[in-house]
Amino acid sequence: MYILRYKLWLEKDGKAFGEGPYQLLAGILETGSLSNAAKKLNMSYSLAYNLIKKVEKNLGFPLIQSKSGGQGGGGSVLTPEALDLMEKYNGFLKESASALEKLFAKYFNS
């Protein structure tokens, strides 16, 4: 009995957006800050910050905006472009997972 494994990611000028950046953006959305998102993923703040900056450069648009002041003294919000990319990536990933599992069952576990 086999198990299916796969990785899906996007490239743009040879660079990637995939599971890692997606999880980090989802963490910022959930926790309201890059430092809390990094903690949640057991990443150092500087690693998370550099990942965001690298992906922003590859994609050609900003992913996060600083939110100064207010309760807790700031944090980060996602840009509209980041939210749009996350929504597309998530939809693509879910439908792909379903399609792959069906094909896998057809060929290997039927």
Judged by beta carbon, residue 9 or residue 49, the one nearer its own copies is 9
Give the one residue of 9, 22, 49, 61 binding its own copies; rule: CB under 8 A: 9
Count residues binding its own copies (CB under 8 A).
27
List Cα–Cα distances, 30 to 37, 78, 98, 104, 109, in angstroms: 8, 10, 25, 33, 37
Report if residue 108 touches its own copies, rule: CB under 8 A: yes
DSSP string, 87-106: HHHHHHHHHHHHHHHHHHHH
Residue 68 CB partners (closer than 8 Å, separation 6+): 74
Q: How far is the CB of 91 from its own copies (least distance, A)?
A: 6
Residues that bind its own copies (CB under 8 A): 1-12, 16-17, 88-89, 91-92, 95-96, 99-100, 103-104, 106-108
